[in-house]
Chains A and B, each alone.
Chain A
Amino acid sequence: MLAAAFADFMQQVVSGLASGGIYALLALALVIIHRSTGVINFAQGEMATLSTYIAWTLWANHGWNYWLAFPATLALSFAGGVATHRIVIRPVERGSVLRIVIVTIGLLIAINGFVIWQWSGEPHQLRSPFPSDVLDVGGVAVSVQDLGTIAVALGIVVLLWLLFQFTKVGLALRAVAVNPEEARLVGVRVSWMLALGWGFAAMLGAVAGMLTAPSVGLDPNLMQALLIYAFAAAVLGGINSPVGAVVGGLALGVILNLLSYLSQYRFFDWFSEELRLPAALLVILVVLLVRPGGLFGHAEVKRV
């Protein structure tokens, strides 16, 4: 009996890590952009949706091999992110916060509209990169899909970390996040570094979308809920902390899944599937109002 309960529990943890990994990717995208350009990109979700549609259309409509479409989408998303920064964000970066918020919202509306305009609002099916087998690991039923998602998510995070820590470009990116004026003085082309940040963020969003779409179906609203979860993860971890984004995402995924699992027991029976999103929203509100810096961030010192 206990073993069965434990197996169930572990199953929830694993699938929580998988969904959490996806939240972590999108949260990381948000954090990279906020850290470097100080912008909260409300359009991050829609950009990821667009990337996922591109992957789908290459594979479904143009007959590309999925394993060709995947990296091609990543490359296109990267380019798209860079272009978005150069064309849309750079002119308003130094302006008022309000202006930037409206611009990213305009992007959100326009991109969402474009997706519907180009591919209609009907749902489509994107294949998963992983087979749908289920493994038995010590009595726990674990889907290959979940394991694969965790592996890909963590793998990308590690690759990105290696890039940031050990390459010249990574060093320059970090320098720009710490002190852009200084970075200019040592010769870093700051605005291109910022554009690169947007490129990486777009790529992360694309992966998140491609990992999520196979299980929930591809439609224009794909990332809307996910964006909220990503915001919650980023805020929980600390909106300027990449580590926080990853930890926050994984934690959020596991916690939400556990709440679902525990709702079969009387103490937690108030929790239902439809409360997942409001729970995430509550996390955002509570963290922002109690400890705006999140777990790993320094609270923005608001003097006065």
Chain B
Amino acid sequence: MRTLLELDRVEARYGPVQALHGVSLTVGEGEVVAVLGANGAGKTTTLRAISGTVSRSGTIELEGKPLPRSPEAVARARIAHVPEGRGTFVDLTVEENLRLGAYVRRDREVKADLARVATYFPWLAERRRQRAGTLSGGEQQMLALARALMGRPRLLLLDEPSLGLAPLVVRELFRVVRELNEQEGLAVLVVEQDARAALSVSSRAYVLEVGRVALAGTSAELRGNESVRRSYLGY
């Protein structure tokens, strides 16, 4: 499997506070990789460092080439970042949100993709003209996912998708993620506090602690190791 994304000793800071102290990880093409850890470990910051929404130092390479630093350029490189809290455009309609997902595309197949995306989220079609802000939390998260898909990304950065959602919805969400990965070959880097849910779809995982990678391995290893589960994953 080829490496799609590689982070090498990436550091990031918010003003005077350093959040990442040298994080290295890889994501292979078509792989689902989880980033786990406690609050404040730097998981969200890692995704932000990739999408360029926080300033970083260190190397990030996409298919062997250095990744640009501005969010606009990262989006053009077909990396879709679904941030914490969904990030839907609440005052715009569902369809407008979806179209924005395709903003960087210049081809003519956007309209067709609207239909294609609806196959993963069938209820979206009927709600096309509904204001995004009136959707429930779970629906907004699905919308955010669908929007990301509209950009035909190669890599999906998912930040805490389970936040604020009921367990049933979380399960459905991750089912869709797995489906997307299997059907579209979409690589996914998912940051999660709900380690169990994340490990159920990922093939590998990293555990962050205080801005560094504390542990890495296949999901099976991490799931199987009881002491790891108790001390790092909380279950």
CB distance from A127 to the nearest CB of B (A): 42
> Of residues 88 to 116 in B, which have CB atoms within 8 Å of A's CB atoms?
88-92, 96, 99-101, 103-104
Contact with B along A180-214 (1 / 0, CB 8 A): 01111111111000000000000000000000000
* Residues of B with C-beta under 8 A to A183: 89, 100
Asked whether any CB of chain B lies closer than 8 Å to the CB of A171, the reply is yes
B99 and A171 within 8 A (CB): yes
Distance in angstroms between the alpha carbons of A190 and B103 in the assembled complex:
12
B92 and A186 within 8 A (CB): no
* Residues of A with C-beta under 8 A to B27: none
Q: A185-B81, A187-B103 are in contact. Are A174 and B92 (CB under 8 A)?
A: yes
Asked whether any CB of chain B lies closer than 8 Å to the CB of A168, the reply is yes
A185 and B89 within 8 A (CB): no
Pick the contact of A187 from B76, B87, B88, B92 — CB < 8 Å? B76
Most A C-beta atoms less than 10 A away, residue of B71, B80, B91, B104: B71
Distance in angstroms between the alpha carbons of A187 and B80 in the assembled complex:
9
* Residues of A with C-beta under 8 A to B76: 187
* Residues of A with C-beta under 8 A to B81: 185
Asked whether any CB of chain B lies closer than 8 Å to the CB of A109, the reply is no
Asked whether any CB of chain A lies closer than 8 Å to the CB of B35, the reply is no
> Of residues 132 to 165 in B, which have CB atoms within 8 Å of A's CB atoms?
147, 151
Q: A168-B103, A171-B99, A171-B100 are in contact. Are A184 and B53 (CB under 8 A)?
A: yes
* Residues of B with C-beta under 8 A to A168: 99, 103
Asked whether any CB of chain B lies closer than 8 Å to the CB of A179, the reply is yes
B51 and A179 within 8 A (CB): no
Q: Which residue of B lies closest to A168 (CB)?
A: B103
CB distance from B25 to the nearest CB of A (A): 21
Asked whether any CB of chain A lies closer than 8 Å to the CB of B63, the reply is no
Q: A181-B53, A182-B83 are in contact. Are A187 and B89 (CB under 8 A)?
A: no
CB distance from B185 to the nearest CB of A (A): 21
Pick the contact of B51 from A171, A172, A175, A185 — CB < 8 Å? A185
* Residues of B with C-beta under 8 A to A179: 87, 89-90
25 A–B contacts from the bound complex (CB under 8 Å): A171-B96, A171-B99, A174-B91, A174-B96, A175-B100, A178-B91, A179-B90, A181-B53, A182-B83, A182-B87, A182-B88, A183-B89, A184-B53, A184-B71, A185-B80, A185-B81, A186-B75, A186-B100, A186-B101, A186-B151, A187-B71, A187-B72, A187-B75, A188-B72, A189-B72
Contacts beyond the supplied A171-B99, A186-B147: 19 A-B pairs with Cβ under 8 Å: A168-B99, A172-B100, A172-B103, A174-B91, A174-B96, A175-B92, A175-B96, A175-B100, A178-B89, A181-B83, A184-B53, A184-B71, A185-B51, A185-B53, A185-B71, A185-B75, A187-B71, A187-B75, A188-B103
Residues of A whose CB lies within 8 Å of any CB of B are 168, 171-172, 174-175, 178-179, 181-190
